[in-house]
Protein backbone atom coordinates (compact mmCIF):
# COMPACT_ATOMS: atom_id res chain seq x y z
CA UNK A 1 0.00 0.00 0.00
CA UNK A 2 1.29 3.45 -0.95
CA UNK A 3 2.22 6.01 1.72
CA UNK A 4 0.52 8.70 -0.30
CA UNK A 5 0.43 10.49 -3.61
CA UNK A 6 1.98 13.75 -4.84
CA UNK A 7 -0.71 16.21 -5.87
CA UNK A 8 -0.79 19.60 -7.54
CA UNK A 9 -3.36 21.89 -9.15
CA UNK A 10 -2.53 23.40 -12.53
CA UNK A 11 -3.85 24.88 -15.74
CA UNK A 12 -3.19 22.21 -18.36
CA UNK A 13 -1.81 23.29 -21.72
CA UNK A 14 -3.86 22.65 -24.83
CA UNK A 15 -2.55 20.51 -27.67
CA UNK A 16 -2.10 23.67 -29.76
CA UNK A 17 -0.07 25.36 -26.99
CA UNK A 18 2.13 22.26 -26.60
CA UNK A 19 2.67 21.97 -30.36
CA UNK A 20 3.56 25.66 -30.66
CA UNK A 21 6.03 25.46 -27.76
CA UNK A 22 7.64 22.31 -29.15
CA UNK A 23 8.00 23.88 -32.58
CA UNK A 24 9.24 27.24 -31.27
CA UNK A 25 11.73 26.18 -28.60
CA UNK A 26 15.33 25.31 -29.40
CA UNK A 27 17.14 23.63 -26.49
CA UNK A 28 20.94 23.55 -26.74
CA UNK A 29 22.88 20.47 -25.66
CA UNK A 30 22.76 19.85 -21.92
CA UNK A 31 19.03 20.41 -21.42
CA UNK A 32 16.64 17.53 -20.67
CA UNK A 33 13.20 18.51 -21.97
CA UNK A 34 10.16 17.91 -19.80
CA UNK A 35 7.82 15.71 -21.88
CA UNK A 36 5.28 18.04 -23.55
CA UNK A 37 2.44 15.89 -22.17
CA UNK A 38 3.61 17.06 -18.70
CA UNK A 39 3.67 20.80 -19.49
CA UNK A 40 1.33 22.77 -17.23
CA UNK A 41 1.12 26.05 -15.37
CA UNK A 42 1.20 25.16 -11.67
CA UNK A 43 -1.35 26.97 -9.52
CA UNK A 44 -0.65 25.15 -6.25
CA UNK A 45 1.65 22.28 -5.25
CA UNK A 46 0.04 20.28 -2.43
CA UNK A 47 2.83 17.72 -2.03
CA UNK A 48 2.29 14.23 -0.67
CA UNK A 49 -1.25 13.61 0.54
CA UNK A 50 -2.91 10.39 1.74
CA UNK A 51 -3.84 8.08 -1.13
CA UNK A 52 -7.22 9.15 -2.49
CA UNK A 53 -7.17 11.98 0.09
CA UNK A 54 -7.83 14.41 -2.74
CA UNK A 55 -11.43 13.18 -2.79
CA UNK A 56 -11.84 14.85 0.62
CA UNK A 57 -10.81 18.14 -1.04
CA UNK A 58 -13.13 17.86 -4.08
CA UNK A 59 -15.86 20.07 -2.61
CA UNK A 60 -13.33 22.69 -1.48
CA UNK A 61 -11.71 22.74 -4.95
CA UNK A 62 -15.11 23.11 -6.62
CA UNK A 63 -15.88 26.01 -4.26
CA UNK A 64 -12.58 27.72 -5.10
CA UNK A 65 -13.31 27.36 -8.83
CA UNK A 66 -16.78 28.86 -8.36
CA UNK A 67 -15.28 31.90 -6.58
CA UNK A 68 -12.77 32.84 -9.31
CA UNK A 69 -13.16 34.35 -12.75
CA UNK A 70 -11.04 33.15 -15.67
CA UNK A 71 -8.06 35.46 -16.26
CA UNK A 72 -5.02 35.74 -18.45
CA UNK A 73 -1.35 35.83 -17.53
CA UNK A 74 0.79 37.83 -19.96
CA UNK A 75 4.27 39.07 -20.86
CA UNK A 76 5.82 35.62 -21.11
CA UNK A 77 9.43 34.98 -21.96
CA UNK A 78 11.97 32.22 -21.54
CA UNK A 79 14.03 32.30 -18.38
CA UNK A 80 16.69 30.03 -16.93
CA UNK A 81 16.03 29.56 -13.20
CA UNK A 82 18.62 28.06 -10.88
CA UNK A 83 17.35 26.01 -7.94
CA UNK A 84 18.15 22.41 -7.02
CA UNK A 85 18.88 22.07 -10.72
CA UNK A 86 18.58 24.48 -13.63
CA UNK A 87 15.19 24.90 -15.27
CA UNK A 88 13.90 26.60 -18.38
CA UNK A 89 10.64 28.37 -17.64
CA UNK A 90 8.13 30.04 -19.88
CA UNK A 91 7.58 32.70 -17.23
CA UNK A 92 4.66 35.12 -17.12
CA UNK A 93 4.34 38.41 -15.23
CA UNK A 94 2.95 38.26 -11.67
CA UNK A 95 -0.81 38.71 -11.54
CA UNK A 96 -3.06 39.55 -8.54
CA UNK A 97 -5.71 36.99 -9.64
CA UNK A 98 -3.01 34.29 -9.77
CA UNK A 99 -1.92 35.17 -6.21
CA UNK A 100 -5.51 35.11 -4.92
CA UNK A 101 -6.20 31.76 -6.59
CA UNK A 102 -2.99 30.31 -5.14
CA UNK A 103 -3.96 31.43 -1.60
CA UNK A 104 -7.47 29.98 -1.93
CA UNK A 105 -6.11 26.66 -3.22
CA UNK A 106 -3.71 26.50 -0.27
CA UNK A 107 -6.66 27.01 2.08
CA UNK A 108 -8.63 24.27 0.27
CA UNK A 109 -5.79 21.85 1.02
CA UNK A 110 -5.38 23.27 4.55
CA UNK A 111 -1.76 24.12 3.74
CA UNK A 112 0.19 27.39 3.84
CA UNK A 113 0.58 29.27 0.55
CA UNK A 114 4.02 29.55 -1.00
CA UNK A 115 5.70 32.44 0.89
CA UNK A 116 7.81 33.57 -2.07
CA UNK A 117 6.85 36.89 -3.54
CA UNK A 118 6.15 37.72 -6.25
CA UNK A 119 4.61 34.51 -7.53
CA UNK A 120 5.80 33.90 -11.08
CA UNK A 121 3.26 31.94 -13.13
CA UNK A 122 5.34 29.58 -15.26
CA UNK A 123 5.57 26.40 -17.30
CA UNK A 124 8.71 24.30 -16.71
CA UNK A 125 9.97 23.21 -20.14
CA UNK A 126 13.39 21.65 -19.45
CA UNK A 127 15.92 20.84 -16.72
CA UNK A 128 19.68 20.48 -16.47
CA UNK A 129 22.04 19.49 -13.69
CA UNK A 130 24.90 21.31 -15.39
CA UNK A 131 25.53 24.73 -16.84
CA UNK A 132 24.10 24.87 -20.35
CA UNK A 133 23.59 27.54 -22.98
CA UNK A 134 20.26 29.37 -22.70
CA UNK A 135 17.44 28.13 -24.92
CA UNK A 136 16.31 30.07 -27.97
CA UNK A 137 12.70 31.06 -28.61
CA UNK A 138 11.22 31.41 -32.05
CA UNK A 139 8.81 34.15 -33.13
CA UNK A 140 5.64 32.23 -32.24
CA UNK A 141 6.44 31.54 -28.59
CA UNK A 142 3.22 32.13 -26.61
CA UNK A 143 3.30 35.35 -24.59
CA UNK A 144 -0.01 34.89 -22.75
CA UNK A 145 -2.09 32.06 -21.33
CA UNK A 146 -5.66 31.81 -20.13
CA UNK A 147 -6.32 30.40 -16.67
CA UNK A 148 -9.85 29.06 -16.96
CA UNK A 149 -9.83 25.66 -15.26
CA UNK A 150 -8.32 23.97 -12.22
CA UNK A 151 -6.99 20.51 -12.99
CA UNK A 152 -5.95 18.35 -10.06
CA UNK A 153 -3.01 16.14 -11.02
CA UNK A 154 -1.28 13.18 -9.40
CA UNK A 155 2.43 12.75 -10.12
CA UNK A 156 3.33 9.11 -10.73
CA UNK A 157 6.95 7.92 -10.85
CA UNK A 158 8.18 6.87 -14.27
CA UNK A 159 11.35 5.90 -16.10
CA UNK A 160 13.38 9.09 -15.64
CA UNK A 161 10.32 11.37 -15.78
CA UNK A 162 7.13 11.35 -13.74
CA UNK A 163 3.78 11.02 -15.45
CA UNK A 164 1.10 13.55 -14.53
CA UNK A 165 -2.38 12.04 -14.31
CA UNK A 166 -5.41 14.35 -14.24
CA UNK A 167 -7.81 13.36 -11.44
CA UNK A 168 -10.47 16.07 -11.62
CA UNK A 169 -11.26 19.30 -13.46
CA UNK A 170 -13.06 22.36 -12.13
CA UNK A 171 -13.85 25.29 -14.50
CA UNK A 172 -13.44 28.78 -13.05
CA UNK A 173 -17.04 29.97 -12.93
CA UNK A 174 -17.40 33.35 -11.27
CA UNK A 175 -18.94 35.85 -13.66
CA UNK A 176 -17.89 39.49 -13.96
CA UNK A 177 -21.37 40.81 -13.12
| pLDDT (tens digit per residue) in 16-45 | 999 999 888 888 889 999 999 999 999 999
Compute the average pLDDT of residues 148-170.
91
Ordered domains of the chain (ranges, CATH): 5-171 (3.90.1140.10)
| pLDDT (tens digit per residue) in 109-139 | 999 999 988 889 999 999 998 888 888 888 8
Q: What is the pLDDT of residue 134?
A: 86
Compute the average pLDDT of residues 78-85.
86
| pLDDT (tens digit per residue) in 64-81 | 999 999 999 999 999 999
Q: What is the pLDDT of residue 1?
A: 41
- pTM for this prediction: 0.89
Q: What is the CA radius of gyration of the chain?
A: 16
Compute the average pLDDT of residues 130-159.
89
Amino acid sequence: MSAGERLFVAQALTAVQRDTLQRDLALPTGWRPVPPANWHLTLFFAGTMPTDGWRDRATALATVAAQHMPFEVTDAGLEVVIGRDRMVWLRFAPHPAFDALHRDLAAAFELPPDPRSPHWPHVTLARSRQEAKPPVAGPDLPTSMSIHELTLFRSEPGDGQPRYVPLARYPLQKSSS
